[in-house]
């Protein structure tokens, strides 16, 4: 009998790999180029939620710009989890960056008092947009560039507030899936409680991302990785993915293409911006 | 062009054989046991790929004339062996052999398709590039083939069969891909050399880089079956492997012993790979300009081409 050499067990749901050291080095170079090289801005402001995405962004910015040039803004609402504030403080302490706290309760409630019937979704969007308003104003105050923290998974699934979370002019994590952000966080030394806790937008009590999405991040990331290469539904199922999960993920992606674009502008002339009149973003 | 989705992967077995030099009958008997082993698997392979000179060994020198067979005879011997142990179970078999045809000798590989009713020789490829330098001396004993052909495998669809040095000339797999090949199957016998590599012989690493490059450039599967065992001090480097059309190494054997390498492949990965890296389509567009370059060697007229 000849020995049999088999390929590694096929696992459709295997976590998409990254080399965290390479990714970190590349993202630090990106941040230096965008902030200092392209714009001549030495400082960054980051909305620090207590979650892993903003923590990783803070660690990368501290490496790229120096922790003394990184302003980490905590923006709690009166119903936010106290644990989020505490986790954010772990990052501020670990990095030695400047920490600031801006309570958005008065601003949010100042508007929502006129909208008592607003459902949780509307209230969540008001929180997110208020935080971005604060972040951009703080960026002027500190002569800093606002840095986005959204990851690829939430961008693809449309799990963000349009023109809020996605507003900053640069985004180091936007091409990293959530599971890859976790791996990068471990490499960078982000405090373990932040990596291991259930991801949450913290817009409502006991809210979790995975509860909202209806799928675990590792499973969504595995499906997205193959789906983005061009595999169709039946091809994904043939490769071992659960049909219902594929349907769920594809439905979210297909239903949110608009959220990953600028507003649709009616074209009326042959000099329409970004249609006829085309210039690169860094021109 | 195959584009329909594939419900289940194609099951491949690369048989990394280690024949005794020139002992064709003995090696055929050993292959019978391998066939029986494969046929008894829960999910028997649908395609078996054996190396170059799989049943005789590679360095035969003048003994090539004693070991050579006609394609028909070799195909009959292989198919009879399979039917003896597996009955009418369908299978495709690829194997390298020294071929004699009307007094000319070739380093060839045969592709057989066996179904419930019949055995067909789908293709015989005659090695184009006969290494005759350094340790090699093929052209002293053998004639060259002169065509790259793409044929339809029931399992793999449009396929090319190339042998060893054929794929070291980037033009050859390129022609295969341009003619429609979605898989390139490579029986080989590669004597190992180079001890200044990292953890493996330099020649093993070079082969892997070469095969991965072919797969990636053309968006095709590459299935490589390497001969194993020492022949007069020259160690054949096995390393049979299956590579996906994005260049991913799906599975690879060690260099130094006989074994069976199994792979399961989704053929519609080809469409995905070519959509994401459309180099082959780009080449099709530019190729006429490249070939009309007057500085290139002149093409032979059809009348000049020697028959196969």
Query: How much is the pLDDT for B12?
Result: 98
**Which one of B19, B268, B277 makes the best mutation probe of the A interface by having the most chain A beta carbons within 10 Å?**
B268
Q: CA nearest B260 in A: which residue?
A: A4
CB contact under 8 A, B37 and A231: no
Boundaries of every domain in chain B: 10-290
Rg of chain A, C-alpha, whole Å: 20
Q: Which residues of A touch B264 (CB under 8 A)?
A: 7, 10
> d(Cα B24, Cα B56) in Å, to the nearest integer?
5
Query: How much is the pLDDT for B71?
Result: 98
Boundaries of every domain in chain A: 20-198
Q: Which of A:238-257 have CB within 8 Å of B?
A: 238-239
Provide the Cα torsion A210, A211, A213, A216; round to 10°.
30
Of B7, B37, B250, the CB nearest to A7: B250
Residue A7 near chain B (CB below 8 Å):
yes
**Which one of A2, A6, A227 makes the best mutation probe of the B interface by having the most chain B beta carbons within 10 Å?**
A2
Query: How much is the pLDDT for B89?
Result: 95
pLDDT above 90 (res B5): no
pLDDT above 70 (res B77): yes
Give one DSSP letter per residue of B75-127, joined into a string.
HHHHHHHHHHHHTT--EEEEEEEEEEETTEEEEEEEEEEE-SS-EEEEEEEEP
Query: How much is the pLDDT for A93?
Result: 97
Q: Give the model confidence (pLDDT) of B154-194 as tens digits.
A: 999 999 999 999 999 999 999 999 999 999 999 999 999 89
The residue whose two tokens read 């349907």 is A247
* Cα distances (Å, whole numbers) of residue B35 to A52, A126, B32: 54, 69, 5
pLDDT above 70 (res B4): no
Written as six digits, the tokens of B216 are: 């990636």
Q: What is the 3-state secondary structure (H, E, C) of chain A?
A: CCCEECCCCCCCCCCCCCCHHHHHHHHHHHHHHHHHHHCCCCEEEEECCCCHHHHHHHHHHHHHHCHHHEEEEECCCCCCCHHHHHHHHHHHHHHCCEEEECCCHHHHHHHHCCCCCCCHHHHHHHHHHHHHHHHHHHHHHCCEEEECCCCHHHHHHCCCCCCCCCCCCECCCCCCCHHHHHHHHHHHCCCHHHHHCCCCCCCCCCCCHHHHHCCCHHHHHHHHHHHCCCCCHHHHHHCCCCHHHHHHHHHHHHCCHHHHCCCCCCCCCCCCECCCECCCCCC
Residue B190 near chain A (CB below 8 Å):
no
What's the farthest any 2 CA atoms get from each other in chain A?
A: 80
- Per the model's pLDDT, the better-predicted residue between B74 and B298 turns out to be B74
The full length of chain B comes to 308
Q: Which of A:33-52 have CB within 8 Å of B?
A: none
HSE on the CB side for A98, CA within 13 Å?
Answer: 14
**Which one of A3, A5, A9 makes the best mutation probe of the B interface by having the most chain B beta carbons within 10 Å?**
A5
> d(Cα A144, Cα B29) in Å, to the nearest integer?
77
Q: Which residues of A touch B239 (CB under 8 A)?
A: none
Q: Which of B:216-255 have CB within 8 Å of A?
A: 242, 250-254
**C-alpha distance from A242 to closest chain B C-alpha (Å):** 14
Q: Which residues of A touch B34 (CB under 8 A)?
A: 2
**CATH top class, domain B10-290:** alpha beta
Query: How much is the pLDDT for B151?
Result: 98
Residue B3 near chain A (CB below 8 Å):
no
Q: DSSP assignment, residue B200? A: S
Residue A16 near chain B (CB below 8 Å):
no
Rg of chain B, C-alpha, whole Å: 19
Residue B10 near chain A (CB below 8 Å):
no
> d(Cα B10, Cα A24) in Å, to the nearest integer?
39
Whole-number average pLDDT of chain B: 93
Of B33, B251, B268, the CB nearest to A5: B251
Residue A14 near chain B (CB below 8 Å):
no
**Which one of A4, A6, A227 makes the best mutation probe of the B interface by having the most chain B beta carbons within 10 Å?**
A4
- Decide if B69 contacts B97 (C-beta within 8 A): yes
- Per the model's pLDDT, the better-predicted residue between B10 and A283 turns out to be B10
CB contact under 8 A, B260 and A10: no
Question: Into which CATH architecture does domain A20-198 fall?
Answer: 3-Layer(aba) Sandwich (3.40)
Residue B261 near chain A (CB below 8 Å):
yes
- Per the model's pLDDT, the better-predicted residue between B200 and A117 turns out to be A117
pLDDT band for position B2 (cuts 50, 70, 90): very low
Residues 6+ apart with CB under 8 A from B123: B110, B111, B149, B151, B161
pLDDT above 80 (res B7): no
Query: How much is the pLDDT for B301?
Result: 66
Query: How much is the pLDDT for B91?
Result: 98
What is the count of residue pairs from A and B with beta carbons less than 8 Å apart? 54
φ, ψ at A275 (rounded to 5°):
-115, -60
The residue whose two tokens read 């749901």 is A13
Query: How much is the pLDDT for B308?
Result: 39
pLDDT above 80 (res B27): yes
* Cα distances (Å, whole numbers) of residue B62 to A242, A245, B31, B142: 59, 63, 25, 10
Neighbour-count burial of A217, counting CB atoms closer than 10 A to its CB (0-12 exposed, 13-18 middle, 19+ buried): buried
pLDDT above 80 (res B6): no
Query: How much is the pLDDT for A114?
Result: 98
Q: CA nearest A238 in B: which residue?
A: B7
**C-alpha distance from A159 to closest chain B C-alpha (Å):** 26
Written as six digits, the tokens of A136 are: 């951009």
Give the sign of the dihedral formed by CA A177, CA A182, CA A187, CA A189: positive
Provide the Cα torsion B38, B44, B47, B51; round to 10°.
-20
pLDDT band for position B217 (cuts 50, 70, 90): very high
- pLDDT tens-place values along chain A, 283 residues long: 999 999 988 899 998 888 899 999 999 999 998 999 889 999 999 999 999 999 999 999 999 999 999 999 999 999 999 999 999 999 999 999 999 999 999 999 999 999 999 999 999 999 999 999 999 999 999 999 999 999 999 999 999 999 999 999 999 999 999 999 999 999 999 999 999 999 988 877 788 999 999 999 999 999 999 999 999 999 999 999 999 999 999 999 999 999 999 999 999 998 899 888 888 888 7
B298 three-state secondary structure: coil
Written as six digits, the tokens of A86 are: 């505490």
Query: How much is the pLDDT for B179?
Result: 97
Nearest to B95, CA basis, from B114, B75, B80, B81: B75
Residue A106 near chain B (CB below 8 Å):
no
- Strand duo A4-5 + B259-265: pairing: parallel
Residue B272 near chain A (CB below 8 Å):
yes
Query: How much is the pLDDT for B306?
Result: 47
**C-alpha distance from A66 to closest chain B C-alpha (Å):** 38
CB contact under 8 A, A4 and B262: yes
- Decide if B3 contacts B271 (C-beta within 8 A): yes
Q: Which residues of A touch B271 (CB under 8 A)?
A: 230
B130 three-state secondary structure: coil
φ, ψ at B237 (rounded to 5°):
-100, 20
ipTM, 2 dp: 0.76
Q: DSSP assignment, residue B69? A: B
Written as six digits, the tokens of B228 are: 């194993």
- Per the model's pLDDT, the better-predicted residue between B4 and B238 turns out to be B238
Query: How much is the pLDDT for A52?
Result: 97
């Amino acid at each position: 009998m000849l020995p049999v050499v088999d390929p590694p067990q096929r696992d459709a749901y295997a976590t998409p790999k990254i080399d965290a050291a390479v990714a970190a080095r590349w993202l630090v170079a990106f941040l230096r180029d965008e902030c200092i090289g392209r714009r001549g801005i030495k400082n960054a402001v980051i909305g620090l939620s207590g979650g892993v995405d903003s923590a990783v962004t803070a660690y990368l910015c501290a490496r790229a710009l120096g922790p003394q040039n990184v302003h980490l803004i905590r923006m709690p609402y009166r119903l936010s989890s106290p644990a989020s504030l505490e986790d954010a403080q772990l990052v501020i302490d670990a990095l030695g960056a400047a920490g600031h706290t801006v309570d958005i309760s008065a601003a949010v409630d100042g508007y929502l008092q006129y909208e008592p019937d607003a459902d949780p979704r509307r209230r969540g969007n008001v929180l997110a947009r208020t935080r971005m308003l604060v972040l951009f104003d703080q960026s002027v105050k500190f002569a800093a560039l606002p840095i986005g923290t959204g990851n690829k998974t939430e961008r693809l699934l449309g799990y963000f507030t349009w023109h809020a979370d996605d507003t900053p002019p640069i985004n180091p994590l936007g091409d990293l899936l959530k599971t890859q952000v976790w791996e990068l966080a471990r490499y960078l030394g982000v405090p373990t409680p932040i990596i291991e806790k259930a991801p949450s937008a913290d817009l409502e009590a006991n809210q979790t991302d995975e509860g909202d999405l209806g799928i675990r991040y590792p499973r969504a990331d595995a499906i997205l990785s193959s789906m983005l290469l061009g595999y169709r539904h039946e091809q994904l199922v043939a490769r071992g993915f659960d049909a219902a999960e594929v349907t769920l993920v594809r439905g979210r992606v297909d239903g949110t293409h608009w959220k990953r674009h600028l507003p649709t502008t009616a074209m009326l002339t042959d000099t329409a911006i970004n249609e006829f009149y085309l210039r690169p973003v860094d021109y | 062009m195959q584009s329909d989705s594939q419900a289940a992967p194609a099951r491949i077995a690369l048989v990394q054989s280690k024949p005794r030099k020139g002992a064709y009958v003995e090696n055929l008997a050993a292959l019978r046991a391998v066939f029986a082993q494969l046929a008894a698997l829960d999910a028997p392979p649908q395609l078996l790929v054996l190396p170059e000179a799989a049943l005789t060994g590679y360095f035969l020198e003048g003994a090539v004339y004693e070991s050579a067979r006609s394609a028909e005879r070799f195909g009959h011997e292989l198919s009879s062996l399979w039917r003896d142990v597996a009955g009418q179970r369908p299978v495709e078999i690829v194997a390298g052999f020294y071929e004699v045809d009307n007094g000319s000798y070739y380093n060839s590989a045969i592709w057989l398709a066996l179904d419930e009713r019949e055995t067909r020789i789908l293709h015989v490829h005659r090695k184009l590039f006969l290494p005759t330098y350094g340790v090699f001396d093929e052209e002293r004993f053998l004639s060259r083939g002169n065509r790259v052909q793409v044929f339809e495998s029931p399992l793999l669809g449009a396929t090319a069969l190339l042998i060893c040095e054929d794929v070291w000339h980037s033009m050859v797999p390129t022609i295969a891909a341009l003619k429609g090949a979605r898989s390139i199957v490579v029986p080989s016998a590669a004597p190992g050399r180079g001890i200044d590599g990292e953890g493996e012989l330099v020649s093993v690493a070079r082969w892997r880089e070469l095969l991965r490059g072919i797969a990636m450039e053309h968006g095709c599967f590459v299935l490589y079956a390497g001969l194993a065992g020492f022949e007069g001090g020259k160690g054949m480097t096995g390393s049979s492997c299956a590579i996906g059309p994005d260049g991913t190494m799906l599975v690879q054997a060690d260099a130094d012993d006989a074994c069976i390498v199994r792979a399961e492949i989704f053929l519609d990965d080809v469409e995905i790979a070519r959509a994401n890296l459309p180099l082959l389509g780009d080449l099709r567009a530019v190729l006429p300009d490249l070939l009309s370059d007057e500085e290139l060697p002149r093409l032979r007229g059809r009348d000049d081409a020697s028959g196969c």
